[in-house]
Structure 1
Amino acid sequence: MPSRRHALLAFAVPRIRGSRELDSPVQERARIEVRHTAWGQVQPDLPSRRIRGFDKDVAVLTETVTGPAGDFPAYVLTPRGVSITRTLFYVHGGGFVAPMDRTHVVYATRLARELGARVVMPAYPLAPEHTAHDSHEALADLASRWARQGPLVLAGDSAGGGYALALAQTLRDRGGPQPSHLLLISPWVDLTTSTPETEALDSIDPWLSLSKLRSYAEWWAGSSDALRSPEASPALADLDGLPPALMFCGTRDLLVAGCRLLADRAAGSTWDLTYVEEPDLIHVYPILPLIPEAREAFRRTLEFLR
């Protein structure tokens, strides 16, 4: 049974995040574009600006990544006082329309400190102004470069989890140094949202909205015809030869249908995927602060990655 703190977050987070049904794709697109203009699209100074005292504990450097649509930043966050032995390449969630926020940065740097790792967090260009094509190959290049320097863990939550899986498939297909592990937290891995149970899940997820996800998916893929492409829906692509992976999802999460599909397809492949599905827990519960369910997921994550 979920904890009381989880129940409180399940009530509060959707309200804090402004979750609501889609008015119309046109209105939603306009609202997001206005927000991106106010944010500067990717919030390039977010890691230090949004976290009080952050620079005292973590050294922050910014790399410039060049993609087809222009340059965007990737942050290299190195915990101070830690012997660095590997890199955690963390792709943030947000439905491909929202930039990384405090929760992503705090979780990734906490995990890195425990693992003796630096964190690389790309602030990839967002939909609806941009598609996966505008950053995918550039991020694969960046991850490959870090993998050549030492062990690399490829991780992400929600949309970022799906992106991380798609990047792992690209790195596998290219050859060369590979990630040692994959960490997928409530990943969005099937942008077609075609699994039969998806409609029923929409009624019990307090946070995500199927109507919004369908618009976000098409914007990110670039068209409805591209929704099944490996860059958009890695759950539908070849899974053989991927690094060992750990995946979490709760059953009050609209994305659990895609996670189950991925786990079923992995069972028929050579991929070593461990799937942890927790009853009645909400979207990205492992990265939510101050709940016992997240602490247990963190323990399992450290056990897997160590």
Structure 2
Amino acid sequence: MPSRRHQLLAWALPRMRGAREMDDVAEERARVEQWHTTLDRGLPTNAVPRFDRRFTVTTETLPGADGDFTSYTVTPRGLDPDLTLYYVHGGAFMAPADPFQVRYVLRLATELGARVVVPDYPLTPEHTVHASHRAVVDHAVGWAEEGPLVLLGDSAGGGYALGVAQAMRDRGGAQAARMVLFSPWVDLSTSTVAETEALDAYDPWLFIGKLRAYAEWWAGGPDQLTRYEASPALGRLDGLPPTLMFCGTRDLLVPGCRLLARRAAETDWDLTYVEEPGLLHVYPLLPLIPEARRAWRQMIAWLG
């Protein structure tokens, strides 16, 4: 049974985030595009205590199909790590990295003595997955050639990270050593639509109308939704790195995670799937709840 703190967060978080279903697809697209013009696309570190004292940051320019974009590398001061955490942030493909996402992955970097690489990929609806996918794969391969690499991603970023792992496998050469996925959005198609629709009234945070619109924008149209870059759960799964995946059942994305787990069981892919009853979307990243602390311990033990 979910903790009282989780129950309180399930009530409060959607209200704090202003979560609601959209009224009209065209209006939502215009709203998001207007919002994008107001964004500061620098790495949001304001939730990380004493960031400047504890970490150094370097930037790289990656050559995307629609134009260049930035990637940030954050390293704990005084370290020259061998391990790289390659983190692809979530946000429904239309939101930049959140300060608390950055705080979480830097906490993990401190725990493991690793650097963190965060590509600030171009967002939808102005861009599709094809604007950045090849450049991100090239970048991840380069880091894997330098030393052990762990791919991480939450929500939309989890699906993106899985697609990156598939592309790295198909190329051959350097691969990620491991992968961690938090409530990944791995099926943007309608293959799990009945199960997803049944959860729509149960998930207080995500909304099925928005998911459908964002999915088509990101994939590049309804005819592109089943391509592995958009829906990696429908792609080839053998030969992928050992992976730990978390999802709660109060989450519109859990049908896709279950589909992925079922398909993985038919291959040689070593996928460990942790499904928690009644828990919210990306619950391991949520603050101050015992379920997140439990997931943290599971992840550290698995990575160790």
Q: If the TM-score is normalised by the length of the shorter chain, which range does it land in?
A: over 0.9
Return closer, same or farther for 1:301/1:126 CA change in 2, 3 Å cut-off. same
Q: Distance in 1 between matches of 2:78 and 2:9?
A: 33
Bigger shift: residues 274-283 or 51-60: 51-60
The match for 2:244 among 243, 246, 252 is 246
Tell me what 2:3 maps to.
3
Counterpart residue identity of residue 98, structure 1: A
Task: Tell me if the contact between 2:47 and 2:100 (Cα under 8 Å) persists in the aligned partners.
Answer: no
**Deviation, structure 1 residue 238:** 0.3
Q: Distance in 2 between matches of 1:11 and 1:74?
A: 35
Task: Tell me if the contact between 1:246 and 1:275 (Cα under 8 Å) persists in the aligned partners.
Answer: yes
> Is 2:180 the counterpart of 1:183?
yes
Task: Tell me if the contact between 1:79 and 1:118 (Cα under 8 Å) persists in the aligned partners.
Answer: yes
Q: Distance in 1 between matches of 2:47 and 2:30?
A: 26
- For residue 197 of structure 1, give the secondary structure of its aligned residue in structure 2: helix
**Deviation, structure 1 residue 52:** 5.5
**Deviation, structure 1 residue 18:** 1.4
**Deviation, structure 1 residue 99:** 0.3
**Deviation, structure 1 residue 112:** 1.1
Tell me what 1:91 maps to.
88
Q: Distance in 1 between matches of 2:146 and 2:294?
A: 31
Q: Distance in 2 between matches of 1:177 and 1:51?
A: 32
Q: Distance in 2 between matches of 1:189 and 1:278?
A: 18
Tell me what 2:253 maps to.
255
Task: Tell me if the contact between 1:95 and 1:216 (Cα under 8 Å) persists in the aligned partners.
Answer: yes
Deviating above 4 A after TM superposition, structure 1's stretches of 4 or more consecutive aligned residues are: 49-52
Tell me what 2:36 maps to.
36
1:23-49 superposed Cα distances (whole Å, 9 cap, x missing partner): 11101001101100011xxx3323345
**Deviation, structure 1 residue 76:** 0.4
TM-score with structure 2 setting the length: 0.97
Q: Distance in 2 between matches of 1:234 and 1:17?
A: 28
**Deviation, structure 1 residue 304:** 1.0
Bigger shift: residues 147-156 or 190-199: 190-199
Q: Distance in 2 between matches of 1:53 and 1:69?
A: 35
Q: Distance in 1 between matches of 2:111 and 2:293?
A: 13
Aligned length: 303
The match for 1:67 among 35, 57, 64 is 64
> Is 2:231 the counterpart of 1:271?
no
Counterpart residue identity of residue 272, structure 1: D
The match for 2:281 among 277, 280, 283 is 283
> Is 2:227 the counterpart of 1:229?
yes
* 1:118-157 correspondence runs (5 A): 118-157=115-154
Q: Distance in 1 between matches of 2:23 and 2:203?
A: 18
Q: Distance in 1 between matches of 2:7 and 2:52?
A: 33
Task: Tell me if the contact between 2:45 and 2:99 (Cα under 8 Å) persists in the aligned partners.
Answer: no
Q: Distance in 2 between matches of 1:155 and 1:46?
A: 17
Tell me what 1:115 maps to.
112
Q: Distance in 2 between matches of 1:122 and 1:77?
A: 11
Tell me what 2:20 maps to.
20
Q: Distance in 2 between matches of 1:69 and 1:50?
A: 31
1:140-183 superposed Cα distances (whole Å, 9 cap, x missing partner): 00000000000000010000000000000000000011000010
Q: Distance in 2 between matches of 1:119 and 1:89?
A: 6
Q: Distance in 1 between matches of 2:43 and 2:133?
A: 22
- For residue 246 of structure 1, give the secondary structure of its aligned residue in structure 2: strand
- For residue 191 of structure 2, give the secondary structure of its aligned residue in structure 1: coil
1:121-154 superposed Cα distances (whole Å, 9 cap, x missing partner): 0110000000000000000000000000000000
Q: Distance in 1 between matches of 2:197 and 2:99?
A: 31
1:29-88 superposed Cα distances (whole Å, 9 cap, x missing partner): 01101100011xxx3323345645311111111111111111111110112244522000
TM-score with structure 1 setting the length: 0.97
- For residue 110 of structure 2, give the secondary structure of its aligned residue in structure 1: helix
Task: Tell me if the contact between 1:249 and 1:283 (Cα under 8 Å) persists in the aligned partners.
Answer: yes
Tell me what 1:294 maps to.
292
- For residue 71 of structure 1, give the secondary structure of its aligned residue in structure 2: strand
Tell me what 2:206 maps to.
208
